Structure 1
């Protein structure tokens, strides 16, 4: 695959064999983000666990102090007085059973996060085949199955992100935008890593943080020295 001129220029800034401190890596990732749009800065964290075993799963959520720089659209499944509560909290869409055909038959997916009260999970469960593969299924571990819809919506709007292992035991999450200051990106990154280190399963053996890389949407990966994170 031929790499673009911008990408080639950006790679010249990065020493692929080097492990950078967080502050250095953040400065570099900003410098390498030269696209005409505000690139997303992502962290890619490879863990020394085997996600196929339930006792080695790593999944949770954390509120990034400076948000992700993205406007998040929240759908809440609720009924009774929880409907008004969700609307008052600033949810973009609120509903119940009537939303099922819209999602199932019309392919409506104009939302980024789904929250549900526990009494609505029977209804939401019918959407498992659609929401599951897209990572949109509400989950108690991520705080998206809850009676406290106000807190759930507020946290998401404030920059709460969910992290979970993919099939190759890597977590991919946004930590901000290229337009953020270095301090904001470093703050967000440290907050994320703190949560992931805290979530280390008791069954995990050996080195937990195998590799940590940050990159912008169009830029090269920058390896971070994990010794100083643990």
Structure 2
């Protein structure tokens, strides 16, 4: 978007449909851009230690082929992961030599009996938000079922220091109504993860953009949330 367009649209608030229409009519890139959202939360009390994290299975395709790794310790679990075409399988033997350079995956799953062996990996994986977490649905007793969900339209989310959740809701060529369904599903899932130490949590603002575009603020009344 050129400077003039940025200035013209900076302070406007759009319905979801008009925002998507605006974005789709911008100059086309030489790759298929994603539609990204920045969801500003209003958290009460406003404390730095309140973490909002979880995952959602969106109803429509988001075109993200995630490379999945697994940390497992039992032979049965390892064999099951291999049967499900998991290419990267780690165990306790890999821990001493594991560094950030070994991170060539987008997501890691594990089991309850294996997670207790992963303590030494927490610093490395945690810095990349890759440590398995029950709220992300990545600690499981059913590897096959979990992989089936993740390989669909899985997204995980976590608020940043400004209480903003960033996520993708699909590619730019996805139908507008389907993009809207994905966003509404994501928001309604986020609401379910309000922690106990949070008295109230609501959506303050939502900005939407393409990968290379600037953010447009969405009228919350144009969404079913």
DSSP-derived class of the 1:114 partner: strand
DSSP-derived class of the 2:79 partner: helix
* Alpha-carbon shift at residue 15 of structure 1 (Å): 2.7
Q: Which has the higher strand share?
A: 2
Is the CA contact 1:41–1:174 (under 8 Å) kept in the aligned structure 2? Answer: yes
Across the aligned residues of Structure 1 and Structure 2, the Cα RMSD in angstroms comes to: 2.3
**Equivalent pairs, count:** 220
DSSP-derived class of the 1:171 partner: strand
1:150-229 matches, cutoff 5 A: 150-201=144-195, 203-205=198-200, 208-229=202-223
Is the CA contact 1:90–1:153 (under 8 Å) kept in the aligned structure 2? Answer: no
Partner Cα distance (2:5, 2:118) in 1: 45
Partner Cα distance (2:11, 2:108) in 1: 40
TM-score by length of 2: 0.87
Matched, 1:68 2:62: yes
> Structure 1 pair 97/223, CA: closer, same or farther in 2 (3 Å)?
same
Corresponding residue to 2:90 among 81, 89, 95: 95
Q: Which runs of 5+ in 1 are unaligned?
A: 1-6
Is the CA contact 1:46–1:171 (under 8 Å) kept in the aligned structure 2? Answer: yes
DSSP-derived class of the 1:172 partner: strand
Deviations 1:153-178 (A, max 9, x none): 11111121111111111000111112
Partner Cα distance (1:51, 1:58) in 2: 12
* Alpha-carbon shift at residue 135 of structure 1 (Å): 0.6
Deviations 1:7-36 (A, max 9, x none): 217936973332222222222222236221
> Structure 1 pair 217/145, CA: closer, same or farther in 2 (3 Å)?
same
Corresponding residue to 1:136 among 101, 120, 130: 130
